[in-house]
């Protein structure tokens, strides 16, 4: 086994620079007699070469030299990293004050005249060497204290063997300027990061970490673990300096010396700190002290780690139980949150300070689209800025005060213009079982329900009107026909002069014309009622909507000649699927919508009729205009019988009701999108016949 390391004193190396060979020899003889080693140089270039080849402990520099004089060389040396802190003594044949000032200004530490006694020169050199030695020791002490403080802080949080060896090896590698540094610790458990834990092949387990020449952490592959185990088995009491390559603990072949310190605690060596250097001189007294101190701290940290491992092992069962219950609680929480997020409801909760404590997924996707992270913890009035604050305050105050569920129906109009209907419930929650601590707000989108109820009401109303129409149309038509026939007969008699030439005859003629005109207007209303109430079941056949649209467009263009300028355009897909229905009824529905659109464009405009396939939805027909649009308050009533916004005499209010009935009879539905000043678009969606194709005109 290698012998323990011991500090080795060595003499100082002096660099003497003088162009006078006799002066150099005198200097050599003087200082070698004092036990120092002298390196001589005759000029500046040779001095610089000697400095870089082997840095000295002190430089003696002659001022009077040819070429680069001593003062210039002194300035140059101070600019060199290797000589920045070296003592420099200037030697000069002139002993005047000006020369001394120049020397000190050039960076010299001292000035000695060549005429001075040899004893004075030796004393000054010894004083500067001692001062440099003390400075190095002070620097080394500061370096050691800083290293120990940093390592101690790192090991305070190292609770596992691998953490101990990793922090110890890394810190020592940096502080000792080593080429390799390994920390090895015997352990019964590998801890986390098993990549740096290995067995020595004899059943022993080691935690090891090596910092290589690049300063990167490696596992135990560079450590001869069997040699470490054998050394630890010998219970080493002191560090060892290994200079025989055959006895190295590390597998790197380039280094020349290893300093090995045991990690001892409680009379037992539990590990080793191995530090490798490329040269024996690199492992000085300072480095030895650093490594020894690091080994002591690592040994204490290893003992603490073993206590931690034992405590962790004894509480492992409890930890698993706590972990299991925690996982169950977390899973239950996530499951509950998933349930709440999956509900087709917008849900949030506020506490008594009106701070948001819950905010589900649908609230994130709502009209305001506020992410959960931005809403939680904020005041509800700062988040729901679109709703009147006083209304919200009143609703929450009522829920907190009464403790009763409050339900409110609301409407909203998003940016797309489609009105949405909501049932908002304020639900008080008592977390402590007595007072209301939170209020849960649940918003349910009831738009489909409201529209379905309205559709049912509209259907019932249309059915009632249809039944009424079926019962009275014929009874009304007969009297109307009689009235019209009598009016026409009287008009004929007036024309024949039966009533003479009285001045009242013209009034009679006017009254008879009014009677006949109003009778025919009533008849047109009853004909509309007949169309509305007529049951078209049993008349269905495959229908080409392309032909229906093109035929309707030709008819509209013919009827509207000479009227206000309205451009009628059609856009029909080439692959438009056929539908099952009554071609005449469908054409009537398209014409009704088109005529309404034309009537809405008083100053002219564009009427567009388009048709396209909508996949699983069927076939979509759009009739759009650029007219005045429909007021929002009228949209819900436009399909009601006898509802019209046209002037008296220009509409019966039955056209859209008839159109609605036709589309419903064909199994489709009607939608309207309108805004005042923007125009209106009616969309008819009809089920397509599967597996068939349609050709246009």
Decide if 684 contacts 555 (C-beta within 8 A). no
pLDDT at 697: 45
| Inside any domain, residue 582 | yes
461 or 490, greater pLDDT: 490
How far apart CA 318 and CA 320 sit, in angstroms, is 5
pLDDT tens string 57-107: 899 999 888 888 888 888 888 887 667 778 999 898 888 888 888 888 888
Q: Distance between CA 283 and CA 385 in Å, rounded?
A: 72
Query: Of 162, 55, 63, nearest to 111 (Cα)?
Result: 63
CA distances from 403 to 326, 435, 502 (A): 34, 8, 85
Asked, for residue 225, whether it belongs to a domain, the answer is yes
User: Which whole number is the average pLDDT over 334-358?
Assistant: 82
Q: Looking at 252, 282, 313, which one is the last position of a domain?
A: 313
Total domains present in the chain: 5
Flag whether 397 is in a domain: yes
Whether 84 and 107 have beta carbons less than 8 Å apart is answered as no
612/303 Cα distance (integer angstroms): 81
Highest mean pLDDT among 58-62, 127-131, 135-139, 371-375: 58-62
Do 428 and 545 lie in one domain? The reply is: no
Q: Within this chain, do residues 520 and 485 fall inside the same structural domain, yes or no?
A: yes
CATH code (residue 269)? 3.30.450.40
Query: What is the structure's pLDDT at 680?
Result: 92
Buried-state track 474-495, b at ≥16 Cβ within 10 A, e below 16: eeebeebeebbeebeebbeebe
pLDDT band for position 681 (50/70/90)?
very high
Cβ atoms of 645 and 633 within 8 Å: the answer is: no
**Same domain, yes or no, for 85 and 49?**
yes
Are 371 and 430 members of one domain? yes
Same-domain pairing of 352 and 464: no
DSSP codes of every residue in 572-614: E-TTPPPEEE-HHHHHHHHHHHHHHHHHT-TT-EEEEEEEEE-
Residue 520 sits in a domain whose CATH number is 1.10.287
Establish if 144 belongs to a structural domain: no
* Dihedral sign computed on CA atoms, order 445, 447, 452, 453: positive
Tell me what pLDDT residue 506 has: 78
321, part of any domain: no
Asked whether residue 646 falls in the same domain as residue 663, the answer is yes
Residues 549 and 516 in one domain: no
The residue with greater pLDDT, 256 or 455, is: 256
Name the E strands within 285-419. 345-351, 356-359, 406-412
The answer to whether position 695 is within a domain reads no
Q: Give the model's pLDDT for residue 417.
A: 54
Quick one: 257 and 354 in the same domain? no
* pLDDT at residue 384, as a whole number: 81
Evaluate whether residue 7 is within a structural domain: no
| Residue 317, SS3 per DSSP | helix
Same domain, 340 and 437: yes
Bridge partners, residue 208, by sequence: 184
Strand partners, 347: 442
Residue with tokens 């004909």: 527
Q: Are residues 440 and 458 in the same domain?
A: no
pLDDT band at 473 (very low <50, low <70, confident <90, very high): low
624 in the same domain as 549: yes
Separation between Cα atoms, residue 485 and residue 515, nearest integer Å: 10
Mean pLDDT over 174-186 rounds to 89
Considering 25-39, 314-328, 485-499, the range whose residues carry the highest mean pLDDT is: 25-39
Same domain, 276 and 385: no
Domain boundary among 506, 533, 560: 533
Q: In what order do the strands lie in the sheet with 110-113?
A: 37-41, 13-17, 58-62, 88-92, 110-113
Local confidence band at 561 (pLDDT 50, 70, 90 cut-offs):
low
Q: What is the mean pLDDT of residues 416-442?
A: 80
Rounded average pLDDT over 675-680 = 88
106: domain CATH number?
A: 3.40.50.2300
Q: Which of 489, 505, 533 corresponds to the end of one domain?
A: 533
Domain assignment present for 363: yes
Range of the domain at 378: 336-444
């Amino acid at each position: 086994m290698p012998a323990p390391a011991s500090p080795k004193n060595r003499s100082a190396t002096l660099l003497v620079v003088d162009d006078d060979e006799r002066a150099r020899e005198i200097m050599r003889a003087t200082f070698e007699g004092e036990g120092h080693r002298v390196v001589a140089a005759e000029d500046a270039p040779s001095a610089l070469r000697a400095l870089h080849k082997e840095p000295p402990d002190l430089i003696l520099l002659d001022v009077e030299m040819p070429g680069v004089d001593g003062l210039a060389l002194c300035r140059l040396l101070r600019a060199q990293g290797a000589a920045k802190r070296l003592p420099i003594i200037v030697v000069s044949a002139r002993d005047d004050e000006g020369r001394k000032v120049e020397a000190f200004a050039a960076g010299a530490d001292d000035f000695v005249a060549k005429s001075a006694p040899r004893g004075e020169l030796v004393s000054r050199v010894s004083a500067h060497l001692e001062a440099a030695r003390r400075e190095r020791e002070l620097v080394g002490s500061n370096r050691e204290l800083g290293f120990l403080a940093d390592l101690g802080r790192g090991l305070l949080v190292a609770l596992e063997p691998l953490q101990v060896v990793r922090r110890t090896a890394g810190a020592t590698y940096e502080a000792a300027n080593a080429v390799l540094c390994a920390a090895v610790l015997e352990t019964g458990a590998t801890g986390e990061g098993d990549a740096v834990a290995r067995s020595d092949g004899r059943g022993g387990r080691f935690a090891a970490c090596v910092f290589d020449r690049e300063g990167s952490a490696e596992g135990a592959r560079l450590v001869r673990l069997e040699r470490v185990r054998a050394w630890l088995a010998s219970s080493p009491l002191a560090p060892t300096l290994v200079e025989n390559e055959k006895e190295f603990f590390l597998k790197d072949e380039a280094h020349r010396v290893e300093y090995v310190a045991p990690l001892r605690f409680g009379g037992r060596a539990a590990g080793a700190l191995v530090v490798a250097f490329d040269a024996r001189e690199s492992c000085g007294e300072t480095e030895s002290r650093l490594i020894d101190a690091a080994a002591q701290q690592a040994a204490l940290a290893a003992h603490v780690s073993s206590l931690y491992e034992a405590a962790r092992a004894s509480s492992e069962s409890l930890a698993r139980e706590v972990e299991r219950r925690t996982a169950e609680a977390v899973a239950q929480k996530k499951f509950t949150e998933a349930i709440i997020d999956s509900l087709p409801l917008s849900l949030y909760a506020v506490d008594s300070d009106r701070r948001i404590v819950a905010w589900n997924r649908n609230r994130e996707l709502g009209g305001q689209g506020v992410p959960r992270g931005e809403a939680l913890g904020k005041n509800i009035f700062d988040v729901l800025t679109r709703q009147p604050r006083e209304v919200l305050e009143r609703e929450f105050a009522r829920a907190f005060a009464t403790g009763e569920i409050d339900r409110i129906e609301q409407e909203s109009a998003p940016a797309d213009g489609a009105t949405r209907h909501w049932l908002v419930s304020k639900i008080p929650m008592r977390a402590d079982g007595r007072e209301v601590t939170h209020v849960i707000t649940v918003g349910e989108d009831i738009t489909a329900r409201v529209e379905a109820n309205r559709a049912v009401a509209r259907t019932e109303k249309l059915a009632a009107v249809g039944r009424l129409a079926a019962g009275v149309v014929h009874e009304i038509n007969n009297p109307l026909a009689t009235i019209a026939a009598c009016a026409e007969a009287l008009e004929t008699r007036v024309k024949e002069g039966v009533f003479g030439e009285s001045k009242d005859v013209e009034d009679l003629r006017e009254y008879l014309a009014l009677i006949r005109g109003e009778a025919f207007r009533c008849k047109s209303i009853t004909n509309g009622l007949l169309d509305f109430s007529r049951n078209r079941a049993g008349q269905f056949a495959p229908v080409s909507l392309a032909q229906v649209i093109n035929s309707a467009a030709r008819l509209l263009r013919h009827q509207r000649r000479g009227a206000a300028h309205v451009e009628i355009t059609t856009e029909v897909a080439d692959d438009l699927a056929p539908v099952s229905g009554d071609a005449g009824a469908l054409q009537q529905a398209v014409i009704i919508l088109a005529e309404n659109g034309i009537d809405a464009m008083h100053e002219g405009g564009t009427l567009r009729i388009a048709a396209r396939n909508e996949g699983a939805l069927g076939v979509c027909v759009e009739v759009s205009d650029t007219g005045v649009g429909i007021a929002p308050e009228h949209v819900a009533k436009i399909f009601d019988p006898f509802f019209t916004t046209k002037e008296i005499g220009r509409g019966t209010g039955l056209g859209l009701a008839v159109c609605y009935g036709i589309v419903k009879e064909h199994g489709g539905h009607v939608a309207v999108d309108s805004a005042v000043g923007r125009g209106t678009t009616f969309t008819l969606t009809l089920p397509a016949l599967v597996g068939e194709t349609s050709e246009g005109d």
